[in-house]
Amino acid sequence: MNDSDFDYTPTHQSMSAFLPLMLLGVSLTLYLIFQISSIWNQQTALLTARITTEAPSLQARQKQAGLERLVMDVLQASATDSDARDLVTKYGIRMDQSVAAQKK
Proportion of the chain above pLDDT 70, given as a percent: 78
Look up residue 79 and give its amino acid.
Answer: A
What integer pLDDT is reported at residue 99 of this predicted model?
A: 64
59 or 104: which leads in pLDDT: 59
Dihedral angle computed from the Cα positions of residues 89, 92, 98 and 99, in that order, rounded to the nearest 10 degrees:
-60
Q: What is the pTM of this model?
A: 0.47
What integer pLDDT is reported at residue 8 of this predicted model?
A: 61
Please report, for the chain, the start and end positions of each structural domain, with discontinuous segments joined by +: 26-103
Between CA 25 and CA 31 the distance in angstroms is 10
pLDDT (tens digit per residue) in 50-100 = 988 888 888 999 999 999 999 999 989 988 988 888 988 998 888 886 666
